[in-house]
A and B are shown apart, each in its own frame.
Chain A
């Protein structure tokens, strides 16, 4: 079974500081894709960053970057220079075989609060 685990239900960070959200996953597949989605309060979920498992280079999107450790099955999200608008639920997600299976598995989420 493919599972995604986020061990930090809640986190907080001061504005302008850096925070890292953890995610581990379990799969026997070799080709898969990992994602971080953000769900702000009462707003729709949006994609933050995506990583293909076959790429060794960690993905980066502006202030958001990941630390992808394939052997350890770890996929953490680092948010630099945190802003108040980063306050949201963050979900780590996993998907295999995009062409035949659009079944994305989500972790339980981490509620991040950015404090002024």
Chain B
């Protein structure tokens, strides 16, 4: 059974640009959550999608957005990139919303220059 797949694994952008990250959950998993991991702030919740609907959102500016498709794949977008957006972005999937057991991908490491 394939795990959570995130693409791209590494990317470099410049300030002001935008980026789209993709996440393919484990087959059969309907919930996808996104987290930002930085040395200074640790792991912070961005948002969660379930059945193509955003169910919950963390304390991030509107430049951070996401969506989920009918096949449960999810994308997150960051517009007008800032240096502080440099981070490892982790996607996690779960079968349902009532387990708390998250299966994480390896992450997309974004560097903003």
Is B56 within 8 A of A102, CB to CB?
yes
Is B100 within 8 A of A50, CB to CB?
yes
Q: Mark A89-116, 1 if CB is under 8 A from B, else 0.
A: 0010001001111111111110000000
Chain A residues contacting B70 (CB-CB under 8 Å) are: none
Chain B residues contacting A46 (CB-CB under 8 Å) are: 103-104
A68 close to B (CB within 8 Å): no
Is A98 within 8 A of B102, CB to CB?
no
Q: Pick from A44, A99, A109: contact of B4, CB below 8 A.
A: A44
Q: Mark A22-64, 1 if CB is under 8 A from B, else 0.
A: 0000000000010101000001111100100000000000000
Q: How extensive is the interface on chain B, given as a class?
A: 20 to 34
Counted as pairs of residues, one from A and one from B, with CB atoms less than 8 Å apart, the total is 57
Chain B residues contacting A101 (CB-CB under 8 Å) are: 56
Is A98 within 8 A of B104, CB to CB?
no
Is B90 within 8 A of A45, CB to CB?
yes
Chain B residues contacting A50 (CB-CB under 8 Å) are: 100-101
Q: How extensive is the interface on chain A, given as a class?
A: 20 to 34
Is B43 within 8 A of A106, CB to CB?
yes
A96 nearest in chain B by CB position: B100
How close is A64's CB to chain B, nearest CB, in angstroms? 15
Query: Which residues of B come within 8 Å of A, CB atoms?
Result: 3-4, 31, 33, 35, 42-43, 45, 48, 50, 55-56, 58, 90, 92, 94, 97-107
The 28 sampled A-B contact pairs (Cβ below 8 Å) are A35-B100, A37-B102, A43-B106, A44-B104, A44-B105, A45-B92, A45-B102, A46-B103, A47-B102, A47-B103, A50-B101, A98-B97, A98-B98, A98-B100, A99-B98, A100-B55, A100-B97, A101-B56, A102-B31, A102-B33, A102-B94, A102-B97, A103-B45, A104-B102, A106-B35, A107-B42, A108-B42, A109-B42
Query: Which residues of A come within 8 Å of B, CB atoms?
Result: 33, 35, 37, 43-47, 50, 91, 95, 98-109
